[in-house]
Amino acid sequence: MHSTDRSFPAPRAAIFDLDGTMVDTLGDFEVVLNLVLRELGLPGVDRKSIEPMVGKGSEHLIRSVLAHVNGAPSLYEQAWASYVRHYREINGRYSHVYPGVLEGLRALRGAGLKLGCLTNKPTDFARALLEAKALGGLFDVVFGGDAFERKKPDPLPLLKACEALGSAPGHTLMIGDSSNDARAARAAGCRVLLVSYGYNHGEPIRDVPADGYLDSLAEVAGWLRTVSPTALP
């Protein structure tokens, strides 16, 4: 747990990214994308190549994978239909919740914070994944990349999530794994914590400016007590 700022107003809400922050979904992506590529008669893709493509939404992921295997851009619509079909069936089967996630969420919820999930993953897929991993009941709101007209790193989704939670951005903490999350938080006026174990488009996470870095979400309550002694009981 590393903090870069020791003055933080007591938060009223925390908003979490999903892929790479709460759930390691690379296994799901690997299985689904290779099923799609096989249907299109294209070569497969491995997990290491997929990881830096994750985080900017499913549309970006599919276009990036097609480019990676030299697939024609004109195959996108066919690839998208195949991806949606397979992802509905696979969602959650080859993914796992990171250690410390449940503890961190329960600590914040137990302290009275409202919790939101904000991801660039389609909303239906996000909700289904949270339910499959027994996390859905911990969130007051869940918004995916199709919930608003723009995705992270644009601040709009984060501002809308704050509004839905009834929490001003200055009293809301964004927790994610990438520069997308940090940029959205900064532009919206939220504080941001970044986890050290996520994807971040293949780049070192500590190169991204943040208010703190966590090796586990179980550390989030301790971080808040350090920077805002009245934040949690």
Contact partners, residue 5, CB within 8 Å, separation at least 6? 191, 211, 212, 227
| CA pair distance 24, 119, nearest whole angstrom | 13
Closest CA to 180 of 8, 45, 60: 60
Residue whose tokens read 């069936």 = 89
Peptide bond into 169 cis (omega under 30): no
| CA pair distance 127, 194, nearest whole angstrom | 22
Catalytic residue among 5, 17, 28, 124: 17
Compute the C-alpha angle 207/120/217, nearest 5°. Answer: 55
| CA pair distance 79, 62, nearest whole angstrom | 7
Per DSSP, what are the bridge partners of residue 97? 23
Residue 17 among the catalytic residues? yes
Known catalytic residues?
Answer: 17
